[in-house]
Amino acid sequence: MRKILASLLAVSAGLSVLSGCSGSSSSSGPASQSGSAPASNAPSDSAPASQAENKPSGERKTLTVEMFDLGSDSQQPIGKSYWYDWMQEQFGDPNNIDLEWMAIPRAEEVTKLNILMSSGDAPDIIYSYEISLVNNYIKQGGLADLTEAVEKNGQHLKTFLGEETLAYGQFGGKQYVIPQKRLFNGIVGSQIRKDWLDQLGLAVPTTHEEFHSVLKAFQEKDPAGGGKTIPWGMALNDMSMGYFSMQYAFKEAMTEEQFYTDNPWVQPGYREGIRFANTLFNEGLISSEFSLDKDSSQLKAAISNGQVGFVICNVGDYHLKSQGVVAALNQNIPEAEYVPCDPFENYEGKHPKLKYYPYGHYLMVPAASKVPEEAVLFLDWMCQDDVLFTLSSGFEGVHYEIKDGIPVDLDYNGDQKLSSDHNNDIRIIINGRDAGGFDASLKLRSESASPYQDFFIESYKMSEVDGIVDPWYFNGFQEPIEAEAKYTKTLNDKRTEMFVRLYMCDPAQFDATYDALVQEYMEAGGTEVMNARKEVFQRTMAK
């Protein structure tokens, strides 16, 4: 198995070089086809109208749509289960379109999409979370310009996404991408053992000084017993290392230009955030072997055995029923309890942390597609309130009943079963299950953390406080930056290595190590990326 993986990695690394030969010859096609089509004036409140308008006429067309193969046992067979038939019936037949589906394994999406794109076999609707992929395709002329198709067929889409979100899909003034709407923008959830704090007579820390002394108290008083206490449980991933929350708290005031174009490593104050982690590590307050714990399995085990005081993760992750980490902890230690805790306060008294853009993955139509307008029509159909609600929750009385304003699942297990988690693989226009309004949706989402719903809701609300969208982590500019497409992967790997070395190095050597590593980072492509971003910033955003 490992051998296969290794060779797979090697192959996919090779691919990133090879993928340059994507077909750009057909790039001028679809955009010009949709040329003189008049914009329809469908009012966005009349839901079924757009279907009626596009009366079946002429030859039947085929629209192929990518579907992530999630590999979860709850996912229904792609293209061969009830909801695919339902979409054909509701959208395909009225519009004279045959819907087809192509399964793409989630973990291999980039590699497989590259191959499909370069051979011209890609589906008509593709999507990916990878901005570097999008940039590459745009640069090579692989995507259809959807500006006019959206104008013609995308009236519901415009209302659903709003101008602002739709603008995130415009590159160089052209609508190459339709962003998926993201319902929940908070990411970072951090929590602390409430029962330990109570036992030691401490309050939930709100600044990093308080946080430091709480961790020290955990270490000294050893509430886990037997010297097993891990004040701050960490694993080898950006989230648990505080990259998305703690690091922001140490950054100082900066200009918008610095924010966009200075690499975090040289942004003012960043060094101090890393130094703080270095201090904690050298005082023994952080998991000593975090750098070996790639899949977080050691960390999860430590949490479930009641050893971990403080931990950062994706909002509510360890409380989810599907993860079962806190559930296992409570089986081992019934009185153990985590509460949300955000001690990373910055110079303004804020608690900045990463949040998402208001969009999820990037929906695209390859330039080679013969049906770009129908592709937009499909997405436009899917985002209508009633369609989306049915796709997300099923039919009332069959799949759900309304209780306290939210659709509560009935125990339905028949042929019309929703796929995966409430069709999250199928409703590709939205990330998150919409229950009609944000509060209802959050309440619904918290059910996945049952019986810790209250924790989940509180933790989520905390994750939105002072959230910032980091143009260095997410896509910063509405145009592809070549240097980024080239160096991002290398630089991200380098970043993780730097984190580990800087967290673990001798405090006396810290500054020297920091300077040396940042220099290496800059030489490995960091400088090129910064210069390219400066150029784009000054051209497009500077006022």
Partner 1 sequence: MKKTASWYLKNTILYGVMVILILACLLPFIHVVALSFSSNRAVTSREVFLWPVEWNLSAYRQVMGDASMVRSLWFTILLTVLYTVICMAMTIMAAYPLSKSRLKGRRLFMGLIIFTMYFSGGMIPDYLLVSGLGLVNSIWALILPGAVNAFNLIILRTYFMNSVPGELEESASLDGLNDIGILIRIVLPLSLPIIATLSLFYAVNRWNGFQDAVFYINDQAKYPLPLKIYNIIFNNSRPELLMTSGADATPVPGDGLKGASIVFSTLPILVLYPWLQKYFVSGVMVGAVKA
Per CB under 8 A, contacts with partner 1 among 228-247 are: 237-239
Q: Confirm if 189 and 160 have CB atoms less than 8 A apart.
A: no
Q: Confirm if 168 and 357 have CB atoms less than 8 A apart.
A: yes
Is 508 a binder of partner 1 (CB under 8 A)? no
Q: Which of residues 340-379 bind partner 1 (CB under 8 A)?
A: 356, 360-361
Q: Which of residues 428-447 bind partner 1 (CB under 8 A)?
A: 431-433, 445
Question: If you search the block for the tokens 């590709």, which residue do you land on?
Answer: 428
Identity at 529, one-letter amino acid code: V
Q: Confirm if 447 and 453 have CB atoms less than 8 A apart.
A: yes
Is 323 a binder of partner 1 (CB under 8 A)? yes
DSSP 71-82: --TTSPPTTSSH
Is 531 a binder of partner 1 (CB under 8 A)? no
- Taking CB under 8 A as the criterion, the residue among 25, 46, 288, 332 binding partner 1 is 332
Q: Which of residues 133-162 bind partner 1 (CB under 8 A)?
A: none
Q: Confirm if 178 and 376 have CB atoms less than 8 A apart.
A: yes
Q: Which of residues 75-104 bind partner 1 (CB under 8 A)?
A: 75, 77-78, 80, 102-104
- Taking CB under 8 A as the criterion, the residue among 62, 213, 288, 297 binding partner 1 is 297
Dihedral, 485, 491, 496, 498 alpha carbons, nearest 10: -170
The interface region with partner 1, picked from 43-51, 197-205, 213-221, 317-325 by CB under 8 A, is: 317-325
Is 119 a binder of partner 1 (CB under 8 A)? yes
Is 327 a binder of partner 1 (CB under 8 A)? yes
**H or E element in which residue 198 lies:** helix 194-200
Q: Which of residues 385-404 bind partner 1 (CB under 8 A)?
A: none
Report the first-to-last Cα separation within the chain, whole angstroms. Answer: 54
Q: Which of residues 19-78 bind partner 1 (CB under 8 A)?
A: 19, 21, 68-73, 75, 77-78
**Residues contacting residue 171 through CB under 8 Å, at least 6 positions apart:** 138, 177, 478, 479, 480
Q: Which of residues 180-219 bind partner 1 (CB under 8 A)?
A: 182-184, 187
- Rounded to a whole number of angstroms, the minimum distance from the CB of residue 119 to partner 1 is 5
Cβ of 81: how many Cβ atoms within 10 Å? 17
Q: How far is CA 518 from CA 59, 162, 264, 291, 501, in A?
A: 60, 40, 10, 20, 12
> Which residue, 22 or 95, is less far from partner 1 as judged by CB?
22
**Residues contacting residue 474 through CB under 8 Å, at least 6 positions apart:** 131, 356, 357
> Which residue, 175 or 423, is less far from partner 1 as judged by CB?
423
Is 115 a binder of partner 1 (CB under 8 A)? yes
468: β partners = 354
> Which residue, 75 or 136, is less far from partner 1 as judged by CB?
75
- Rounded to a whole number of angstroms, the minimum distance from the CB of residue 176 to partner 1 is 19
Lookup: tokens for 19: 């993928």
> Which residue, 109 or 373, is less far from partner 1 as judged by CB?
109
> Which residue, 17 or 508, is less far from partner 1 as judged by CB?
17
The interface region with partner 1, picked from 155-163, 167-175, 247-255, 290-298 by CB under 8 A, is: 290-298
- Taking CB under 8 A as the criterion, the residue among 298, 384, 393, 459 binding partner 1 is 298
- Taking CB under 8 A as the criterion, the residue among 208, 300, 319, 399 binding partner 1 is 300
Q: Confirm if 276 and 503 have CB atoms less than 8 A apart.
A: no
Lookup: tokens for 414: 């028949």
Q: Which of residues 446-485 bind partner 1 (CB under 8 A)?
A: none
